């Protein structure tokens, strides 16, 4: 003989705070006032919970509302759970007007070491509740796989990816520089064509941009980090193509010479990149907007 098993009707979980309010106020009217609802709405809500559970939760008289044994048991189990849920939701870092929480940021070592401290000095002052965790690496980081919120990436061509959102922050002007010691020894090129006879400090994998011709000699010094190339050029090891913001102070101090300033070298650009999301965390949006708003000024001040 097969026995039928009674199934409880589904409970609207949105009604449970109503149950707690009535239990704590011992009054439908007081609970309704606390929740900003009509008394009739609260009464219907409690009745719906009782129907779904198949038990009476409150004993009702003209003077008071009291928990039944079943109601008291439910309250004892439910109250701590709903309180914990409320605490968890209230502790979410993206709640409230001011962004907060940890912002995991990655950038190439050269871009990060030179630019990020200047950027973060102002950003941290404006958004003190955001903790920025910076990871500098020259490898291409998988933002989603490795759990990063945002990346700064420099590129000589427009970034495009179906899996990431990229926004250009600023163009990065590149120019030709050499140290006074090197130029005194090798001579200062007068035309772009003259540079073919010079020694170069080259970035690994990068070709000299037009209109600079390929050097006739293989570069003696090659590096994969623009800061290394920059220091090697300053040390007098050859000519090098460097970001203008990086060399500006040394040119002013006489440690570098801007070679062929009228020769236009194609520029790159800096992008802020983040994973796509239906709701982009506010800490990411404010960082992105801060970069766009202030980056050009930071470059000129560099």
The pLDDT tens digits for 221-241 are: 888 888 899 999 999 999 998
CATH code (residue 51): 1.10.10.10
**Model confidence at 64, in pLDDT bands (50, 70, 90)?**
confident
Note whether 261 and 135 are within 8 A (CB): no
Q: What is the pLDDT of residue 192?
A: 87
Do 153 and 279 share a domain, yes or no? yes
Do 156 and 279 share a domain, yes or no? yes
The pLDDT tens digits for 148-174 are: 899 998 876 776 665 788 888 888 888
Do 146 and 281 share a domain, yes or no? yes
Do 224 and 197 share a domain, yes or no? yes
Residue 206, domain extent: 172-265
- Between these two residues, 5 and 255, which has the higher pLDDT value? 255
The pLDDT tens digits for 272-298 are: 898 877 677 889 989 988 988 887 676
Do 289 and 148 share a domain, yes or no? yes
Do 221 and 273 share a domain, yes or no? no
Domain contains 3: no
**Model confidence at 267, in pLDDT bands (50, 70, 90)?**
confident
Distance, in Å, from the CA atom of 49 to the CA atom of 57, rounded to the nearest integer, reads 9
Do 86 and 193 share a domain, yes or no? no
Distance, in Å, from the CA atom of 145 to the CA atom of 165, rounded to the nearest integer, reads 15
Q: Mark 231-259 as b/e (b = at least 16 C-beta within 10 Å).
A: ebbbebbbbbbbbbbbbbebeeeeebbeb
Last residue of a domain, one of 58, 90, 122: 90
Domain contains 8: no
Do 37 and 147 share a domain, yes or no? no
Domain contains 229: yes
What is the domain count for the chain?
A: 3
Task: Give the predicted TM-score (pTM) of the model.
Answer: 0.61
**Model confidence at 110, in pLDDT bands (50, 70, 90)?**
confident
Do 136 and 261 share a domain, yes or no? no
Do 165 and 176 share a domain, yes or no? no
Domain contains 97: no
Q: β-strands 101-107, 130-136: how paired?
A: parallel
Q: What is the pLDDT of residue 253?
A: 96
CATH code (residue 151): 3.40.190.10
Mean of pLDDT values over 183-192: 93
Domain contains 2: no
């Amino acid at each position: 003989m097969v026995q039928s098993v009674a199934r409880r009707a589904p409970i609207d979980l949105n009604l449970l705070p109503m149950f707690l309010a009535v239990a704590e106020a011992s009054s439908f009217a007081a609970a309704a006032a606390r929740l900003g609802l009509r008394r009739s709405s609260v009464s219907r809500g409690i009745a719906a919970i009782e129907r779904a559970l198949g038990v009476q939760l409150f004993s009702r008289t003209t003077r008071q509302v009291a928990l039944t044994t079943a109601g008291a048991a439910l309250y004892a189990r439910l109250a701590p759970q709903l309180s914990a849920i409320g605490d968890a939701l209230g502790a979410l870092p993206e709640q409230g007007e001011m962004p907060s929480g940890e912002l995991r940021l990655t950038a190439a070592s050269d871009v990060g070491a030179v630019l990020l401290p200047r950027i973060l000095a102002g950003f941290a002052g404006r958004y003190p509740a955001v903790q920025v965790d910076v990871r500098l690496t020259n490898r291409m980081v998988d933002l989603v796989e490795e759990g990063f919120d945002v990346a700064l990436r420099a590129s000589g061509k427009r970034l495009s990816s179906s899996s990431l959102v990229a926004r250009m922050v600023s163009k990065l002007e590149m120019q030709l520089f050499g140290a006074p010691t090197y130029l005194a020894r090798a001579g200062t090129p007068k035309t772009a064509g003259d540079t073919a006879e010079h020694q170069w400090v080259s970035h690994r994998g990068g070709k000299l941009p037009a209109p600079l011709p390929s050097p006739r000699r293989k570069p003696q010094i090659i590096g994969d980090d623009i800061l290394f190339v920059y220091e090697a050029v300053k040390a007098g090891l050859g000519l090098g193509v460097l970001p203008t913001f990086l060399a500006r102070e040394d040119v002013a101090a006489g440690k570098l010479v801007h070679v062929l300033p009228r020769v236009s070298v194609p520029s790159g650009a800096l992008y802020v990149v983040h994973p796509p999301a239906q709701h982009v965390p506010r800490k990411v949006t404010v960082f992105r907007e801060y970069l766009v708003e202030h980056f050009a000024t930071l470059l000129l001040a560099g």
